[in-house]
Amino acid sequence: MTSSAGDVIEGRYRLSQPLGKGGMAEVWAAVALDTGDEVAVKILREGAGIDSELGRRMRREADLVSAIKSPRICSLLGSGVWKSRLYLVFERLRGEPLADLLEREGTLPFAEVAEIVSGILDGLSDAHRAGVIHRDLTPWNIFLEGWDSDRKIRLIDFGISKAAQGESTITNQGGTLGSYGYMAPEQAKAAHEVDERADIYAVGVIAFQCLAGRVPFESGDPYAALSLKAQVDPPTLGEVTAETWPADLERFLRAALARNRGDRFPSAFAALTAWRAVVAKNQQARTRRHAATAQPREDTHTETMTAAPRGAGPGRRPRGGSR
């Protein structure tokens, strides 16, 4: 960390403890001196100039997040420059990223996945309505605020987001931005050309991982995984887990993870509507995971909501957007 606990930013925010560090910035818990409220301060990494690509990306994040009005999005409270470094002030969230929960549990019961995916798509609907595409939805950028029945799903880290119209030159032509395990096939070719359907693909990956314990395409070589996405249809939950899953759930994932974006849901709202129908149809389904030794069901005509044996998901990586 290049900042220290006790530092006071422009006489307004006192840093208390580090929350995370990424390639673009470090994130600190802090206290607003005028109100006593706890906040999270994202500070551009030292040495990255205000007019650098990272600096421009951070300013764009502030502009785009400010444009979204949604209880599902972590709110921007302020911004400024401190010691020649840009900083953004966000509301402080208490809880954990979805990545931590998946690392701890491996797979999740459908009832929990239903809540998480609904919250993500609800937040995306608001973001897309405001003309903002996230482009880096991963379990690290899905924050589970609170616990149990009071938990809320929040979307964070819009650091590589783009406007649906009028994209700036921050993203180079043909450049790749995002996390390869969750990236839509077209995003790997040209991040500047993606639309809302790239975010829908990422939601499909996250839902698949929550239920199966792994992402659809796994490889030690990111480029091999990206190549597979462009050439091969993703596996089904049944193929990965050797268990029977509801046909409507498999259809939802097939649409969300379609290689051709024209075959995906046309909008986050359309995906949310379809997901709610899946949840409603299976609301009486089982919510307990099978043990890792669970055997495939012989009756393939019976639709039951199960969760997959635990699998090795993608490794944990620190993210600067954790709150």
The DSSP bridge partners found for residue 44 are 25
Instruction: Give the N- to C-terminal CA distance of the chain in Å, as an integer.
Output: 16
Answer yes or no: 7 catalytic. Answer: no
User: Can you tell me the distance from the alpha carbon of 107 to that of 95, in angstroms, rounded to the nearest whole number?
Assistant: 19
Q: What is the DSSP letter of 73?
A: B
The DSSP bridge partners found for residue 162 are 133
Catalytic residue, candidates 122, 136, 157, 199: 136
The DSSP bridge partners found for residue 9 are 13
Tell which residue, 180, 184, 224, 199, has the closest CA to residue 314. 180
CA distances from 290 to 208, 211, 251, 302 (A): 16, 11, 22, 16
Name the phi and psi angles at 263, rounded to 5. Answer: -95, -5
Catalytic residues: 136
